[in-house]
Amino acid sequence: MHTFLMVLLLVDSIILILSVLLQSSKSDGLSGSIAGGAEQLFGKKKSTGYDGILARITIITSILFFLVSLVTLAFFS
């Protein structure tokens, strides 16, 4: 059981790291916040396509990482 949870945690953490690194940047920096950053903030944004899939994978794997970490700590500490 301990080995299974550790392997699951390892695979989940690798997938989480890759999904975060593959996402495109959403910020324009300081110039975007001064001139026209509100348009992007309040504008319509579709969550379909490559970025939407990566965002969904990131959310799912982060929840799974949190739960597996808690289960591991609860059972083996």
Predicted confidence (pLDDT) per residue in 5-56, tens digit: 999 999 999 999 999 999 988 765 555 556 555 555 555 555 678 889 999 9
Q: How confident is the model at residue 57 (pLDDT cuts 50, 70, 90)?
A: very high
- Domain coordinates in residue numbering, the chain: 1-21+47-77
Question: Which residues touch 14 (CB under 8 Å, ≥6 apart)?
Answer: none
SS3 label, residue 49: coil
Measured distance CA(35)–CA(32) in Å, rounded: 5
Measured distance CA(6)–CA(57) in Å, rounded: 20
Would you say residue 65 has pLDDT above 90?
yes
pTM of the full predicted structure? 0.72
